[in-house]
Chain A
Amino acid sequence: MTDRTAQLIACHECDLLQRDIQLNPGCYASCRRCGAVLYRNATDSVDRTLAYTLAACMVFLGANLFPIFAIEVQGDRSAITLFGAVLSLWDQGMRSVSTLVLITAILIPALELASLTYLLLPLKLGKVPPRYPLFMRTLQCIEPWGMVEVLMLGLLVSLVKLTNNFRVIPGMALWSFAVLTLLLAAAATAFNARDVWAQLDAKRRDLESR
């Protein structure tokens, strides 16, 4: 059933059936009718994505453990971490908003990084991670909800608003978030779901036939 249709690809935006062709590294195929990107051939997709992901994991820890910035008023100093901000909002009775921030700024990016590592590290070592379709599906479904780059802009806006009234001391996490934004964008560009599916499937078939 799948073999006969293996070379076909249907555009996810207009459903046009097209034939799958080999691409040169770095190129992408777009739909003939609506122009949507059908698939890409990212260079060294697995290696690069894994490298960016592991780097992002470390920066992510820094971004969440250290304070973002501190303000000083007449010798009184207050500093916050991102999680501290979420807790404080919870205490102020804004529970739904606090949960929303917790999910979009902390949990989803963490889950995204964890899933990518879980999938790519074994693949790089020549193994097949158990239940990989579940993780590929998770990755696909949480992707729109990770908002680290929006948070970064939010940090900058807050910084400007604060400097009008207070002396602001930027913290370690502010720089970490800036780097994290770049690393996540790089990982997303390097990641090629189609390639990962193909490699995982091939490896699994290989193991089963042995």
Chain B
Amino acid sequence: MSTADSPIAAGRGLCSCHVCQLVSRSTGTSRGQYCPRCGARLHLRRPGSVQRCWALVIASYILYIPANTLVMMETGSLISYRKDTIVSGVVHLWRTGSWMIAVIVFVASVAIPLLKLFSLTLLLISVQRKSTWHPQQRTRLYRLVEAVGRWSMLDIYVVTLLAALVQLGSLAIVKAGPAAIAFGAVVVLTMLATMEFDPRLIWDPLQKEEFHD
């Protein structure tokens, strides 16, 4: 049986609850419908998914700039004083010999947010063009984006811990810089964008059946 004529729930007027996965019949009315078991709102597809996801992704792109150009952490002691952006912090770690940590911080704070944004952009464009190009690969990409999202919070935690711990008067000082706010916002917005995206839209263009939400 080819996948193109396999039945999808929406094509049969059935609606799967996104909380408890109970399949129930869609009444087809424009009024809100609620899951008979758990009371969550039911939709054939998440309404406005693509538009909201675009808005969140664009906002994240904009905030990604201050997150990487502003100061993330100020460290001072009797002998030295430095202001680090995320990237210069990574370079400093690399130079001082903490290669492993440098790689971990680079992956979590620079690579993951950027890859997440590019992946979401790719998914959004392909969904909007109703592309039938490698749906399985794109679903996998979505799953990956969903799974790695939280790891970008790493630097926020590091800054919090260091800033709280190292406050020994004039001897040493660590301060969180303005980039922390922008960076935190990027993490939250990209996570919201991932949740807003409805992966079922990737598969809809493959379907012959028509349905209306």
* Chain A residues within CB distance 8 Å of chain B: 1-2, 5, 8-10, 12-17, 32-36, 39, 68-69, 71, 73-74, 76, 78-80, 84-89, 92, 94, 96-98, 100-101, 104-105, 133-134, 136-137, 140-141, 144-145, 147, 150-151, 153-155, 157-158, 160-162, 164-166, 193-194, 197, 201
- Stretch from B20-28, B58-66, B124-132 contacting the other chain: B20-28
Contact yes or no, B23 A133, CB < 8 A: no
For chain B, give the interface size range. Answer: 35 or more
Q: Closest chain B residue to A13 by CB distance? A: B199
Contact yes or no, B158 A161, CB < 8 A: yes
Does B188 belong to the interface (CB within 8 Å)?
Answer: yes
Contact yes or no, A158 B9, CB < 8 A: no
* Contact residues of B between 136 and 193, Cβ < 8 Å to A: 136, 139-140, 142-143, 146, 149-151, 153-169, 171-172, 175-176, 180-181, 184-185, 188, 191
Q: How far is the CB of B17 from chain A (nearest CB, A)?
A: 9
Give CA–CA (A144, B168) in the complex, Å.
Answer: 36
Q: How far is the CB of B10 from chain A (nearest CB, A)?
A: 6
What chain A residues lie within 8 Å of B82 (beta carbons)? none
Q: Closest chain A residue to B100 by CB distance? A: A160
Q: Closest chain A residue to B136 by CB distance? A: A34
Interface of B is mostly: helix
Q: Which of A2, A33, A35, A86 contacts B203 (CB 8 A)?
A: A33
For the complex of A and B, 7 pairs with smallest distance between CB atoms: A154-B157, A10-B16, A10-B9, A85-B164, A88-B164, A14-B203, A133-B38
**Given A154-B154, A161-B101: A5 and B37 within 8 A (CB)?**
no
**Given A80-B165, A97-B176: A147 and B150 within 8 A (CB)?**
yes
Does B98 belong to the interface (CB within 8 Å)?
Answer: yes
Does B18 belong to the interface (CB within 8 Å)?
Answer: yes
Give CA–CA (A74, B199) in the complex, Å.
Answer: 57
* Contact residues of B between 25 and 42, Cβ < 8 Å to A: 25, 36-40
Contact yes or no, B139 A73, CB < 8 A: no
What chain A residues lie within 8 Å of B165 (beta carbons)? 69, 71, 78-80, 85, 158, 162
Give CA–CA (A8, B6) in the complex, Å.
Answer: 14
Q: Which of A13, A94, A134, A201 contacts B37 (CB 8 A)?
A: A201
Task: Give 16 pairs: A residue, B residue, CB < 8 Å, sorted on A.
Answer: A13-B139, A15-B204, A16-B7, A32-B6, A71-B165, A78-B166, A80-B164, A80-B165, A94-B180, A133-B38, A150-B150, A155-B157, A160-B101, A161-B158, A165-B172, A197-B38
Contact yes or no, A101 B24, CB < 8 A: no
Contact yes or no, B191 A144, CB < 8 A: yes
Give CA–CA (A68, B139) in the complex, Å.
Answer: 40
Q: Which of A1, A71, A84, A197 contacts B166 (CB 8 A)?
A: A71
**Given A13-B200, A15-B8, A33-B203: A160 and B25 within 8 A (CB)?**
no
Q: How far is the CB of B39 from chain A (nearest CB, A)?
A: 5
Q: How far is the CB of A105 from chain B (nearest CB, A)?
A: 7
Does B114 belong to the interface (CB within 8 Å)?
Answer: no
What chain A residues lie within 8 Å of B12 (beta carbons)? 17
Contact yes or no, B135 A12, CB < 8 A: no
Q: Which of B6, B25, B39, B139 contacts A36 (CB 8 A)?
A: B139
Contact yes or no, A137 B156, CB < 8 A: no
